[in-house]
Structure 1
């Protein structure tokens, strides 16, 4: 079967495989947040160890994203996806059986690599196999999977920790990935079009010539420079409580980005295909959409961290209760993503603008509930309806914005371009969480949890407002024709 001409039945089966893997990787992220106290007790882990349980995964995930996306574009997305799922599944086994904290962190690094390999292939394969309204629907289902996975992860994690206890419970939060990973691999081998990997030019049949072609197309120098740049930018935010010298990584990262851009332009002048076609940044829909996504993730991902902290440390609730408060929002997010995915080609960036307005409204209502709870007028569970608006926003922003951002990107760069956008999400998430939690904990030294949490939500509202300004600017450009490539 030719991978570029598949039947409708095969196309939707491919999507099922992609969604299973994406759901597995996202549930893994939210489950671990709940399992951290049990990991600390079970392994005798230090605070630094726990920080790396989270940061190590995020770091390797962000570093390999773009290189993995380009590898899929050149070598075949199906094959790289299967390798990513296999690495992630094996790393989950290693995480669940880890005898000590260093072993767990090494396994988490490997999980991040696996997730980084599979994630851009998911976006690239949706671009490859779906067109027009069907692509919007596919990304809508993608967004539904994201919403449900993020919402049920903490609940599943809380249940597994309660059932398994200190020694076994946290291990189950990793081992639960294994049957999902095995099922995903089986479905991928059965349903993905063959061949899973592409070959280089066939002219002479010379294997060394094909290898050289692949190496040139993968642009190893560009991959190394961008990987180091992402590492240097992310590292100080993930170690924000460490030495002040860590912040020297940030200017080093910016210098590496500059070096990467210069190298990519030089590589094109040599007549080779670059890791990322920098011309995609002249496509305003891609540039604006990537900026919207970076700002959105800088604000929105901090909401769930802040809610978990406030519910447990401010309101005295359990980890399971902190997870339950977000369930309605997760399911509304799934429904909204499905609805928006079917209509994004008709309404365009207006769907995203509406979602961002819902997010800002939800943030304002959360501030109101927290302050009224502080005054004794409302119970903390009134956060649920406020967070539903946040869920509505997630479904209306993430997948529709992804569809619009990648709509005009050449298929040959679908994987690497999608990975650039996801890298922006990772950087936005790391910067936002570091900045907002630092502000909240600084305020806790002089005020109550409610005031500190409300102030954190205020910062989140400002960041999302910046994303709204970019979205309105992009919509205005589309009306005047400026936002066209």
Structure 2
């Protein structure tokens, strides 16, 4: 009798049958199918970073206000994060190939809509749809890897997927700069989105031929997607973001009352999720996971860290292009050291984390904070166009630290989670990353744009980086608390035989 899929995971159970059928031989096309998945993953993750260097061109081409520029970036992250867990369940239930292709089709069409945008509102709405589509595609990739591979092959496949994640982040600003340089500053930003069209079409054609069906797919109930949970979390985070993003457009203090509304909506979300029971509505976030100390602290840490580090790309490209008159390509090259350092250190962090544990993450966070502080100093010491060279070493240091944070934290956060809940835990962790990105861009962006008119681009950049560093330091405090609790527990365990219980 076929085993039912884990309904709360978004990822099939370990040992799920491969495309050859239950007990059958592995599909010889699995590596080609993996290539299709990796290209799709590259596209959706590339759009997180590639758009940053296009923001000044978008501002000029569409006469976009600062708030809309923030929504172009944070709206994508928010929509992406909110749909990750429901889309994972939908893929388990309706078939991962079908959901993958539906999400990829929507992503490709939304990319075309972004490129054709005639107003900033049009672009923001298209980016929200694009983010939702990316959230549909992403969980299917990890689930398909679980389904198609086993043993050491699965490890290799996940390793390749991890490399694509790091590469897409590193190459995004540089590729965006090259596209804008080739197509011209006025309309070149449109090609940042058009580049997805040929890739999307080719992936769709190959996905139909190569991706396997889901043998255990069953009919999904709407309540299994937790629509009320998605609505409550989405509106709560939106109410939290609005007063920050619209700070320059909405005058007066009444807008801050939205923070009270946000707190109420998020409290209702927690209450709703806690009422979900086995056999009833499947929760968007399994609150039972937060009983595990490593998981709860790891999720809080990565939410705070993503709030800090993703906003760095946002304000750095604006500062370099508008404040120092860099081209999009020059700005992309200036940011590349951070991304390259992060990608290089991620592999090292993955090998060291089992031996060093949470202290490795502490070291990484300290490196990020020091690197960003040195970046602020470099901007002051080198006021002209040479600032790009001056910030290269500090950003490289921050990037190396970042590589010791993200991957090791994921390993540590999921370490205590039981295997049947691993998929749900992974989806929750990714949701926290995307929500953190949206919150950070809103908070850092609001400070940055508020200071531009009074302090100039360099002063605004300083203030924005200070807020970003504050988020990183908050993540560091969480990591230190985890280390302290771990030491106390280890000391208590060493005295355990003398004092049982």
Q: TM-score, normalised by structure 2?
A: 0.80
Instruction: Map 1:7-406; keep pairs closer than 5 Å.
Output: 16-43=35-62, 50-72=69-91, 74-122=93-141, 141-165=160-184, 168-195=187-214, 198-199=217-218, 210=219, 214-243=221-250, 244-268=253-277, 273-374=282-383, 380-406=388-414
* C-alpha distance in 1 between matches for 2:113 and 2:333: 29
Most deviating of 58-67 and 297-306: 58-67
Q: CA deviation at 1:126?
A: 6.3
| Separation in 2, partners of 1:249, 1:72 | 35
Q: Distance in 1 between matches of 2:311 and 2:158?
A: 23
Does 425-434 or 119-128 show the bigger shift?
Answer: 119-128
2:21 equivalent in structure 1? none
The answer as to whether partners of 2:52 and 2:313 remain within 8 angstroms in 1 is: no
Please give the per-residue CA displacement for 1:36-82, whole angstroms capped at 9, x wherever unaligned: 34345545656565554445434433443343344345555554333
Map of 1:203 onto structure 2? none
Distance 1:31-1:184 versus aligned 2 partners, 3 A rule: same
Q: 1:9 to 1:414 in 2, by over 3 A?
A: farther
| C-alpha distance 398-13 of structure 1, shift in aligned 2 (>3 A) | farther
- Please tell me whether the aligned partners of residues 83 and 136 of structure 2 are also in contact (alpha carbons under 8 angstroms): yes
Q: Deviations over 1:238-269 (max 9, x none)?
A: 33333254433332232222222222333318
Whether the 8 Å CA contact 2:96–2:214 is kept in 1: the answer is no
Q: 1:123 to 1:345 in 2, by over 3 A?
A: farther
1:167 and 1:452 map into 2 onto residues whose CA distance is 25
Change (3 A) 1:327 1:9: farther
Query: 1:92 touches 1:107 (CA, 8 Å); kept in 2?
Result: yes
Separation in 1 of the partners of 2:419 and 2:98? 17
Of stretches 308-317 and 72-81 in structure 1, the one that deviates more from structure 2 is 72-81
Larger mean Cα displacement after TM superposition, 260-269 or 134-143: 134-143
Give TM-score, length-normalised by structure 1: 0.82
Q: CA deviation at 1:138?
A: 6.2
Aligned residues: 471
Q: Secondary structure at the match of 1:268?
A: coil
Give the Cα–Cα distance (whole angstroms) in 1 for the partners of residues 64 and 280 of structure 2.
51
Going from structure 1 to structure 2, the CA distance change for 1:136 and 1:283 (only over 3 Å counts) comes to: farther
SS in 2 for 1:459: helix
SS at match of 2:397: helix
For 1:468 and 1:9, the matched residues in 2 are separated by 46
- Following superposition, the deviation at residue 227 of structure 1 comes to 3.3
CA distance in 1, matches of 2:448, 2:27: 50
Which one of the candidate residues 472, 479, 498 is aligned to 1:464?
Answer: 472
Distance in structure 1 (CA, Å) of the matches to 2:192 and 2:462 = 31
- Asked if the contact 1:144–1:335 (Cα under 8 Å) also holds between the matched residues in 2, the reply is no
Deviates more, 1:470-479 or 1:39-48: 39-48
CA distance in 1, matches of 2:291, 2:180: 49
In terms of fraction of residues, the more helix-rich structure is 1
Q: How much does 1:421 deviate?
A: 2.3
Answer yes or no: is the 8 Å Cα contact 1:140–1:399 preserved in 2.
no
Q: Distance in 2 between matches of 1:14 and 1:344?
A: 31
Aligned 8 A contact 1:49 1:101 in 2: yes
Q: Which moved more, 1:423-432 or 1:269-278?
A: 269-278
Bigger shift: 185-194 or 257-266?
A: 185-194
Residues 246 and 448 of structure 1: CA distance in aligned 2, closer, same or farther (over 3 Å): closer
Unaligned runs of 5+ in 1: 200-209
Gaps of 5+ in 2: 4-11, 19-25, 494-501
Indicate conservation of the 8 Å contact 2:244/2:446, yes or no.
no
Instruction: Kindly provide the CA deviation profile for residues 318-374 of structure 1, in whole angstroms up to 9, marking residues without a partner as x.
Output: 222111112233222222222323443343323322321221221232133222224
| 1:22, distance to aligned residue in structure 2 (A) | 2.8
1:136–1:403 contact (8 Å) kept in structure 2: no
